[in-house]
Amino acid sequence: MSRQTVISIEGGRYLPSLPLAFAIARFFDMTVDKMFDPANEEAGT
Amino acid sequence: MRFIRPRLRKPAGIALFGTVYAAAWLVHGGNGWQWAITAEIGVIAFTIAAYLRGGRDSDEDALYGSRIDERQQLIAQRSWALAGKVTMFAAFAGVIIAVAARATWWWPFAAILAVTGFGYLLGLSNYGVGEEGPADDADDGHQVRSPVKR
* Nearest Cα residue to B18 out of B1, B51, B2, B41: B41
Q: What ipTM was estimated for this complex?
A: 0.78
Q: What's the rounded Cα separation, in Å, for the pair A44 and A40?
A: 6
Q: Does A34 touch chain B (CB under 8 A)?
A: no
pLDDT tens digits along B45-92: 999 999 999 988 888 899 999 988 999 999 999 999 999 999 999 999
Residues B70, A16: C-beta atoms closer than 8 Å: yes
State whether B70 and A4 contact (CB < 8 Å): no
Q: Over the stretch B96-123, which tens digit does the pLDDT of each residue have?
A: 999 999 999 999 999 999 999 999 999 9
3-state secondary structure of B72: helix
